[in-house]
Amino acid sequence: MTRVLRLTLAYDGTDFRGWADQRDPAIRTIEATLCDHLERVLRERPRLSVAGRTDAGVHSRGQVVSFTTSSGTRPDRIQKALNAALAPEIVVTEASWAPAGFDARLSATGREYRYVIDTAPVPDAFTSRFVWHRRAALHVPSMRTAASPLAGEHDFRSFCRHPGAGRSTIRKIDRLTIARDGHLVVVRLRANAFCHQMVRSIVGTLVRVGEGRLDPREVVRILAAGDRATTPNIAPARGLTLERVIYGRR
C-alpha cells in the first residue's frame, strides 16, 4: 500500500543552485539533497512534487513537498532523520500523512513571498544572507503607488523570464504590500502562482521607483508592454523567501 507524505520545509538557499535536481552530482540543489537522504531513510527514491520551484539563492520558511511512498516509516521518524542529517541548512518543520490525491503543487491555491531590503549604512553580518543590502534611501509611498496597478489578474510577461511556448504568464496577485520597519523595507506578495523571476522583477522595478529613477506611472506602461526588455532591474535572489503555501480557500 502506498500513502502520500507531506513535508513542510524551511531552508537557507544561499549555497544551493535552486530547488530543481540538475541530474549532476556536482550541482547542489535542494531537491537532490532531500531525495538523497529520503532514499536512505525510506529505502526507495521518491518522486517529489513541490509547491514552489525556488531559484538559486532563494530561501523558504514554508515550502511544501509531497510524494507517494510504500514505506511504513512514521512521519515523525522521517522528520527526525532528515533534520539530523540536514539541519540547520534544510529543516523539516512538519511531517504528516496527507489525504489520498494530495499534491503539493497541484493542490495549492496560493503562494506567499516576502522580499526584504536593508537600507542601513552598513550590512548586518547576521542577516546579510537573507536581505538585499543597499544603503540608498527608498521612498515607500511612491513604491506603493507604483505597486497598486499590479494587484489583480494580469499578464505579467514583462516581469517574467520567458516561460516557453504555450505557457501562460497570466497570474492573479491577491495582495501586494510594502512596509517600512526601521531600516528595512519589506515587500510581501501573495498570488495563485508566480512566473519564473516574477517577484524579483517586480521588486527590482519598485526599487527603481523608490530611488526616484522611475516614475510610478511607468509601471502601468511596463505591465501593458508585455515585453521583458522593459523591466529595468531584477532584485538579487538572497532577499527573497517563500513564506507559506496556501491550500483550500484563500
Which of these is catalytic: 21, 24, 55, 181?
55
Per DSSP, helices labelled H in 60-187 are 75-86, 140-147
> Is 55 designated active site?
yes
pLDDT in tens, 68-98: 999 999 999 999 999 999 999 999 999 999 9
**Which residue, 214, 222, 240, 205, is CA-closest to 12?**
240
pLDDT tops 60 at residue 243: yes
The second-level CATH assignment, the architecture, of 3-98 is 2-Layer Sandwich (3.30)
pLDDT tops 70 at residue 136: yes
Equal fold, 3-98 vs 110-247: yes
| Helix/strand/coil for 133 | strand
Q: According to the model, what pLDDT value does residue 28 have?
A: 96
Average pLDDT over the chain reads 95
State the burial class of residue 243 (Cβ atoms within 10 Å of its Cβ: 0-12, 13-18, 19+): middle
pLDDT in tens, 48-57: 999 999 999 9
Where do the structural domains in the chain lie, given as residue ranges? 3-98, 110-247
* 37 vs 54: CA distance, rounded Å: 20
What is the mean predicted confidence (pLDDT) over 179-194? Answer: 96
> pTM above the 0.85 mark?
yes
Q: Are 235 and 203 in contact (CB under 8 A)?
A: yes
- CATH code reported for the domain at 110-247: 3.30.70.660
For 11, the grid coordinates are: 531552508
What is the mean predicted confidence (pLDDT) over 38-54? Answer: 96
